Structure 1
Amino acid sequence: MAFTFKPYTPSPKYKTAAAYFSMEFAIDQSLKTYSGGLGFLAGSHMRSAYELKQNLIGIGMLWSFGYYDQGRNEDQTMRADFRRKSYSFLEDTGIIFPVTIHGAEVQVKAMYLAPEVFGTVPMFFLTTDIAENDYISRTISHHLYDSDNAARVAQSIVLGVGGGKLLDILNRQTEVYHLNEGHGLPLAFFLYEKHGRSLEEVQKRLVFTTHTPELAGNEERPMKLLTEMTFFGGMTDEEVRSTARLGTGDSLNYTLTALRFARKANGVSKVHGIVSNDMWGHNEGICPIIAITNSQNGLYWHDAQLLAAFKAKNDEALLARKKELKQELFKIVADQTGNLFDPNVITIVWARRFAAYKRADLILRDFERFVEIATNSKHPVQVIWAGKPYPLDYGAINIFNSLIQRTKNLPNCAVLTGYELGLSAAMKKGSDIWLNTPIYPREASGTSGMTAAMNGSVNLSIADGWIPEFIRPGENGFIIPHVAEGTPDGQRDDQEATAILDVLEQQVLPMYYDQPKNFLKVVKAGMKDVEPEFESGRMAKEYYEQLYKI
């Protein structure tokens, strides 16, 4: 039976037909198509767009082995395992079509995720891992963010060109194409050829979201490699250089090129909007960059009982439910580490994508003072870490493993593996304090703190990303003072590590233990203030109103 695409009837408010391209989506614990915050953000967007009945389609990749499964070696250090995934809830559309990679045809199959499965907009996931391809072509969609440069380029072509072709095969008259990060950049060149090789026609249709000032989030590849891989479709080298304003440069930056092909772009917080304009604004021919702050889907992330107690203004029920959620988290801690945590002790969690600039180990920089604070009998502390480093980022892996080694003799500390949607939810619901320690201003948004606040976990954070838009210090969260930009790295880390422990000792712990009613006020203020401003319904509306509007 042939696949027939019959999406729901969109709301008249959101009739513009848009398509959202992302290399990763965190939709459900069972669907391994994400690595970290970019995917969490994209998943929440797809859920809120469905709740609003927006005329949006999600286009992603079906990764045969996902990102990786994070396990443990015999010495408890982390291990990256790769296992093939299968999903009975994805519908095989039977749609197979060619894209050109390295001058040869590669067959792409589209799998469909219907809205009713997980409560998202209609979504299509592309794979090359099918019998119609040779082995090398099949591996293109094996691993999210493959470490091989040529494979990464091929993945971008499948997402961008494959997604554009699929929309045409479906006969969907798409008005706006939204690139979530630069990974799907070949879409711009596909549209360029489709619309008469007119940059102006592409700019009428293409919008772009940039997520990070980090180099890893702003891909740059040699022009020679991209040309050999047919990244630019039928465009000649000379035409690419002229249209993308490359001059005689040897490489192409995906973000800068997207900014030149798009009509409009956005950073993902007010701070990041400023940073993005500072980064790219001096370049000729870029589009305007506005700020649309990331956010997260409340319906998915809320603990229903905790939210009900909060709405009923039942403090007793709220505290009782929070204690239950802590106990649920502590079962995971005990299972993985053998440590038994106390639900009456303040519990600090640091959990997110593992990267050096996020500084997971900053709180341990003055280790003796940390131990002294953590083991204080009057104001004891429990700390949990989790996160997934890129499997070949040995620096980040070493930080992760050093946390395990340094805290292995501390029964009130735990480092957990398997940081995916399920564990993330358990940690946000079961923590008292959500710790965030990026190097300012390198955290574009930092959405994990939003879902923590939704579940009564108080943010303790460097004032980066979304935090300056949210925290009122001492009222709905706590700020870690950061030093001036340009301060030498070691001096900066020393001062900010000291600041974390100072804020804990002088503000957080005395309030939690000696003024519990005041701490509860902070908890409830955070739960109140995080919505609707940082719930993804607001974000999805702003994309239509500020980015998609033609």
Structure 2
Amino acid sequence: MIRLNELFPYQFDKKYSKPVAYFSMEFAVDQPLKIYSGGLGFLAGSHLRSAYELKQNMIGIGILWKKGYYDQERNQDQTLHVNFRDKDYSFLTDTNIVFPITIHGARVFVKAYLLKPDVFHTAPLFLLTTDIQENDYLAQTISHRLYDPNETTRIAQSILLGIGGAKLLDILGRETEIYHMNEGHALPMCFYLLDKYRSMDEVKKRVAFTTHTPEKAGNEEHSVPLLNSMSFFNGFTAKQVEEYVHPENGVLNYTLTALRFARRANGVSQLHGEVSRKMWGDYKGICEITAITNAQNKKYWQDEELAQALNEGDDQALVARKKELKYKLFRTVANQTGKLFNENVLTIVWARRFAAYKRANLLLTDYNRFLRIAQNSKYPVQIIWAGKPYPEDYGAINIFNEIYWKTKDLPNCTVVTGYELWLSGHLKKGSDLWLNNPRLYHEASGTSGMTAAMNASVNLSIPDGWVPEFAKHGKNSFIIDTANDQLTQESKDKIEAQALLDLLENEIIPLYYENPEKWQSIVKSSMKDVVPYFDSGRMADEYYTKLYK
């Protein structure tokens, strides 16, 4: 059995001694551990790293995904191919803890592995799996695929994370004061605590909740009879559930229910806090929704030589190092695509999850105008796209393939595969301009721009998520004008596409080539302004002082 006093390689800082368990469906702590899909995981990974650096009494609870999210590859014609491959990790510790939980009225055995703090310099992370010989094949598949498309499997995954995680803490004998749900996936945990304490007030004292998205897909919901049949409510009847959390029209929304169980909740940017209060504020029985802006771990993400050049005021070293990092990225791009880019050319990167609202192809909306910019020999540019669509989101996969087909004959434009931590780091360090153009109010935070700014890449963004808290147009970033909110979505997309192209053609690209000193001053302001506020040390501190207090 794991001894709790041996879990942490540090004495807790008194400010952070309250014992917290942090439940998340995904954690992106380092490239070799492929148990994440996107921003939620990147955020959770940075949180655990900063918890380690600040000596916080926090334990992570997640799932050991046997096949990860998926491996992003290419078909013979270079279009997107999704591959699911089994993964094993020799750096995880087998705790030898195996225990039963109930899913769909049946006993399912859960095994716990531990990512020790010294492996990747994170708070301890327990990872649960059902892929063990004690279970039949169907039960084993529960922990195979992150965000499995099958509805009942997804529900089972929530039970595994929520009830499995809470039960593990009891088996470990850890007295946990705060159960922090990073998004609503771990919701069954609340019903486990309700069964344990037999009081809604006692549960509310202990539950903190972070909501990450205004998107419907991110606010999961299922019918109460289905959840009941799946043992989601940990023994409570549908009638009792009705009395405790008042599901709307026989449908239980995870976010809304978490807001009724939690003592306090937060959005992940100041703007998202406002959006969340508007979304949920009219529903009865919800907790206070505050805002703690997301951040990323500087120690993990920032290139040390770039930081040193900035601190020493050595512009020459900063420019030289940036070119080295561009060269490194371009070798990776050439290896994948056969296109060899030039480190003296302005390089634009769009890289994030391929969700429809993020508008990966906005730059291509007016294709002729896009070509005019892409083929301008006086002011050359290079453009790279990267990101993983959800494997069953065929609309998003079509956008990925469309970008490939529309740019395949352009030697200076390409789309790359395998957007995980390692490639993400290369893209941020090797880009000059980090493009972010979601539909306004749809991006809760959008943290990738923070780590780009740390690495001398200037943000070009819609004023959504974290951006309004950081951006000063023409001083540390560039802001795309947004269309009138009353217009149709199609009209807004067209207007904002033209605003983006205007900005590139008339302001940004000429500035890069004609006024390198001004460009360099924007780069340096961006690097200085992004830390310390958007370093996750500030965020991890705020969770203790604002949410767990």
Normalization by structure 1: what TM-score? 0.99
Match in the other structure for 1:505: 505
Amino acid at match of 2:13: S
Match in the other structure for 1:279: 279
Query: Using the alignment, how far apart are the partners of 1:311 and 1:130 within structure 2?
Result: 51
Q: Does 1:226 align with 2:201?
A: no
Query: What is the CA distance between 1:219 and its match in structure 2?
Result: 0.1
Kept in 1: contact 2:2–2:172 (CA 8 A):
no
Query: Using the alignment, how far apart are the partners of 1:10 and 1:353 within structure 2?
Result: 36
Match in the other structure for 1:270: 270
Amino acid at match of 1:294: N
Query: Using the alignment, how far apart are the partners of 1:300 and 1:397 within structure 2?
Result: 30
Query: Using the alignment, how far apart are the partners of 1:442 and 1:484 within structure 2?
Result: 15
Give the match's secondary structure for 1:478.
Answer: strand
1:117-145 per-residue CA deviation (whole Å, 9 max, x = no partner) reads 00000110000000111110000000000
Query: What is the CA distance between 1:183 and its match in structure 2?
Result: 0.3
* Cα root mean square deviation, aligned: 0.7
Match in the other structure for 1:543: 543
Match in the other structure for 2:477: 477
Aligned residues: 546
Q: Does 1:448 align with 2:452?
A: no
Query: What is the CA distance between 1:280 and its match in structure 2?
Result: 0.1
Query: What is the CA distance between 1:241 and its match in structure 2?
Result: 0.7
Q: Does 1:38 align with 2:37?
A: no
Query: Using the alignment, how far apart are the partners of 1:403 and 1:321 within structure 2?
Result: 30
1:34-58 per-residue CA deviation (whole Å, 9 max, x = no partner) reads 0000000000000001100011000
- What pairs with 1:118-157 in structure 2 (closer than 5 Å)? 118-157=120-159
Query: Using the alignment, how far apart are the partners of 1:98 and 1:253 within structure 2?
Result: 26
1:332-386 per-residue CA deviation (whole Å, 9 max, x = no partner) reads 1111111111111100000001100000000111111111112111111110000
Query: Using the alignment, how far apart are the partners of 2:3 and 2:40 within structure 1?
Result: 30
Give the match's secondary structure for 1:441.
Answer: coil
Query: Using the alignment, how far apart are the partners of 1:94 and 1:281 within structure 2?
Result: 45
Q: Does 1:337 align with 2:332?
A: no
Query: What is the CA distance between 1:4 and its match in structure 2?
Result: 2.5
Consecutive aligned runs of 4 or more in structure 1 exceeding 2 Å deviation: 2-5
Query: Using the alignment, how far apart are the partners of 2:137 and 2:245 within structure 1?
Result: 34
Query: What is the CA distance between 1:414 and its match in structure 2?
Result: 0.7
Query: Using the alignment, how far apart are the partners of 1:288 and 1:157 within structure 2?
Result: 26
Give the match's secondary structure for 1:340.
Answer: coil
Kept in 1: contact 2:207–2:261 (CA 8 A):
yes
- What pairs with 1:459-478 in structure 2 (closer than 5 Å)? 459-478=459-478
Match in the other structure for 1:524: 524
Match in the other structure for 1:3: 2
Give the match's secondary structure for 1:221.
Answer: strand
Q: Does 1:60 align with 2:62?
A: yes
Query: Using the alignment, how far apart are the partners of 1:297 and 1:485 within structure 2?
Result: 34
1:160-198 per-residue CA deviation (whole Å, 9 max, x = no partner) reads 0000001011111100000000000000000000002x1
Give the match's secondary structure for 1:204.
Answer: helix
Match in the other structure for 1:489: 489
Q: Does 1:201 align with 2:202?
A: yes
Give the match's secondary structure for 2:257.
Answer: helix
Match in the other structure for 1:398: 398
- What pairs with 1:157-168 in structure 2 (closer than 5 Å)? 157-168=159-170
Match in the other structure for 1:216: 217
Query: Using the alignment, how far apart are the partners of 2:366 and 2:338 within structure 1?
Result: 26
Give the match's secondary structure for 2:506.
Answer: helix
Query: Using the alignment, how far apart are the partners of 1:83 and 1:485 within structure 2?
Result: 44
Query: Using the alignment, how far apart are the partners of 2:509 and 2:389 within structure 1?
Result: 30
Match in the other structure for 1:76: 78
Kept in 1: contact 2:247–2:253 (CA 8 A):
no
Match in the other structure for 1:95: 97
Query: What is the CA distance between 1:484 and its match in structure 2?
Result: 2.2
Query: What is the CA distance between 1:245 and its match in structure 2?
Result: 1.5
- What pairs with 1:368-387 in structure 2 (closer than 5 Å)? 368-387=368-387
Give the match's secondary structure for 2:87.
Answer: coil
Amino acid at match of 1:66: G
Query: What is the CA distance between 1:508 and its match in structure 2?
Result: 0.7
Query: Using the alignment, how far apart are the partners of 1:284 and 1:251 within structure 2?
Result: 16
Amino acid at match of 2:474: G
Give the match's secondary structure for 1:107.
Answer: strand
Kept in 1: contact 2:21–2:179 (CA 8 A):
yes
Give the match's secondary structure for 1:213.
Answer: coil
Match in the other structure for 1:86: 88
Give the match's secondary structure for 1:284.
Answer: coil
Query: Using the alignment, how far apart are the partners of 1:91 and 1:23 within structure 2?
Result: 20
Query: What is the CA distance between 1:224 and its match in structure 2?
Result: 1.2
Amino acid at match of 1:200: D
Query: Using the alignment, how far apart are the partners of 1:106 and 1:57 within structure 2?
Result: 24
Query: Using the alignment, how far apart are the partners of 1:152 and 1:180 within structure 2?
Result: 16
Query: Using the alignment, how far apart are the partners of 1:466 and 1:351 within structure 2?
Result: 17
Query: What is the CA distance between 1:246 and its match in structure 2?
Result: 2.2
Query: Using the alignment, how far apart are the partners of 1:28 and 1:209 within structure 2?
Result: 22
1:219-277 per-residue CA deviation (whole Å, 9 max, x = no partner) reads 00111110000000111110001100226x22100000000000000000011000000
